[in-house]
A and B are shown apart, each in its own frame.
Chain A
């Protein structure tokens, strides 16, 4: 028995723009963000949504968590966060994708962590 028949015969009906940002830093669902200086108030003249994002980011969390907690659609969250990063008030943390051999050390740390947590 084989279910392979359909391989390669798909149509891609939609294209998402999620993740396309002006920032040079990749801003993926798992990427962590935090305010550059947690003790600062939100900068003046921010749009209300951006202000809410800014305040939430005083504690480090992922793009997905920001979107879910504030109920702002993911794509909008990504654009607003990227603007805040551009202003220099939000820091975008490194995202480990495993694409570069230099990241192996981090993956090994992740494995050791899982071995400790799930014995």
Chain B
């Protein structure tokens, strides 16, 4: 462990993370870009897919694919605290990468494209199953009017009754900022409910 003479400025800097999840093309990167102080950073990862069982064409036992590995932005909250926002890969077949991205997050936003509700099931399901991470549902309206009420959406996606659902415009900085504020307030109220005072 490092224990020598850092300036206190360096030593007291810390960070935290919010995960931006949701279906393919729901507006995750747009949200991150709206609130981030840096252009959203996207990196790619190469990975191998296991061969299909019983596939006897042993000449190509593995297939190499490329996917988005990271998609993130940053908000310097104050001199000592930096908040990162990490988008999850939209394609459902890469959901297994989520565990790494979600680990240690203070909360998550599930961005829902209101025209394609079914696409967001996977993400809602992930956070309903892992209730350790507080999450909110953010309905990206894509200019259109909402076809359903918030409660209809809650019912359709089976979102727990205490989880905030709000609508927003991913392209709008202040609207996207409101989503992050709602998440932090919700996370704090969860902690207050869970922890005994003192």
Question: Which residues on A are within 8 Å of B, measured CB to CB?
Answer: 1-4, 6-8, 10, 12-14, 16, 18-19, 24-26, 28-32, 34, 36-38, 60, 62, 64-65, 67-68, 71, 73-74, 85, 88, 90-98, 101, 104, 106-111, 113-115, 117-119
B185 proximity list for chain A (CB < 8 A): 111
Among the listed stretches B24-32, B54-62, B82-90, B135-143, which one makes contact with chain A, having 4 or more residues with CB under 8 Å of it?
B82-90
Instruction: Judge whether B188 and A91 touch: CB under 8 Å.
Output: no
Instruction: Judge whether A65 and B180 touch: CB under 8 Å.
Output: no
Can you offer 10 A-B residue contacts whose CB atoms are under 8 A? A2-B156, A3-B156, A32-B13, A37-B6, A62-B15, A74-B43, A110-B81, A114-B77, A117-B75, A118-B35
**How long is the Cα–Cα vector from A2 to B125 in the complex, in angstroms?**
12
Instruction: Judge whether B50 and A13 touch: CB under 8 Å.
Output: yes
A94 proximity list for chain B (CB < 8 A): 14
Q: A98 — nearest CB in chain B belongs to which residue?
A: B106
**How long is the Cα–Cα vector from A37 to B10 in the complex, in angstroms?**
10
Q: B34 — nearest CB in chain A belongs to which residue?
A: A118
Instruction: Judge whether A74 and B184 touch: CB under 8 Å.
Output: no
B151 within 8 A of A: no
Instruction: Judge whether A2 and B158 touch: CB under 8 Å.
Output: yes
Instruction: Judge whether B17 and A29 touch: CB under 8 Å.
Output: yes
Q: A17 — nearest CB in chain B belongs to which residue?
A: B100
Instruction: Contacts A68-B70, A74-B70, A85-B2 given; indicate if A95 touches B16 (C-beta within 8 A).
Output: yes
B1 within 8 A of A: yes
Instruction: Work out how many contacts link A and B, with CB atoms closer than 8 A.
Output: 182
A2 proximity list for chain B (CB < 8 A): 155-156, 158
B174 within 8 A of A: yes
User: Which listed residue, A12, A38, A113, A114, touches B96 by the CB 8 Å rule?
Assistant: A12
Instruction: Judge whether A26 and B104 touch: CB under 8 Å.
Output: yes
Report B166-198 residues with CB < 8 Å from chain A CB.
173-174, 176-178, 180-181, 184-185, 187-188, 191-192, 194-195
**How long is the Cα–Cα vector from A91 to B184 in the complex, in angstroms?**
28
Instruction: Contacts A16-B97, A67-B43 given; indicate if A111 touches B184 (C-beta within 8 A).
Output: yes
Instruction: Judge whether A3 and B118 touch: CB under 8 Å.
Output: yes
A74 proximity list for chain B (CB < 8 A): 43, 45, 69-70
B4 within 8 A of A: yes
A34 proximity list for chain B (CB < 8 A): 10, 13
**Most chain B C-beta atoms within 10 Å of own C-beta, residue among A10, A62, A93:** A93
Instruction: Judge whether A118 and B180 touch: CB under 8 Å.
Output: yes
User: Which listed residue, B70, B81, B96, touches A29 by the CB 8 Å rule?
Assistant: B70
User: Which listed residue, B10, B35, B122, B181, touches A60 by the CB 8 Å rule?
Assistant: B10
